[in-house]
Amino acid sequence: MRILIPAFLLLLLVSCASASSTAKGDVDPEVQSLATGQLLWSRCQTCHGVDGRAKTTYGAEHSVPDFTTQSWRDTRPYDELVESITNGCGPETAAGTSAMPSHGELSKEEVRALAVYILSLGEQG
């Protein structure tokens, strides 16, 4: 009987582990998108801050918006955010580029994931 119980527990553990492993296609797309967006967020933190509140030197000097406020999210539709990430936005600098650089090097999926993550920042706190 003592051998039977550990063997049963081992069998149960193996079956649970194989049942819980998922193929890439089985991952919840919303969770995957947020995770991807969070990874990409590191390139935004210099100006927008770790938490999206823009409490950075650059943020203060250039009136970078606080992404966590409801008022900002209410005035920034998802499609406009995707456009800003892809093509840049803000006033033109002396160098002739926008204040926020374009990120055309990102794939459409990466841009969408980053936009979803940005919009989630206000929900986190």
Strands (E), 57-112: 89-92, 98-100
Residue 22 lies in a domain: no
Residue 89 lies in a domain: yes
Residue 13 lies in a domain: no
> Three-class SS of residue 100?
strand
pLDDT in tens, 26-77: 656 677 888 899 999 999 999 999 999 999 998 888 888 999 999 998 888 9
Residue 40 lies in a domain: yes
Please, what is the Cα angle at 51 between 45 and 58, to 5 degrees?
45
Query: How many structural domains comprise the chain?
Result: 1
Residue 16 lies in a domain: no
- pTM for this one? 0.70
Instruction: Provide the domain limits for residue 53.
Output: 29-123
Residue type, 50: V
Domain at 105, CATH number = 1.10.760.10
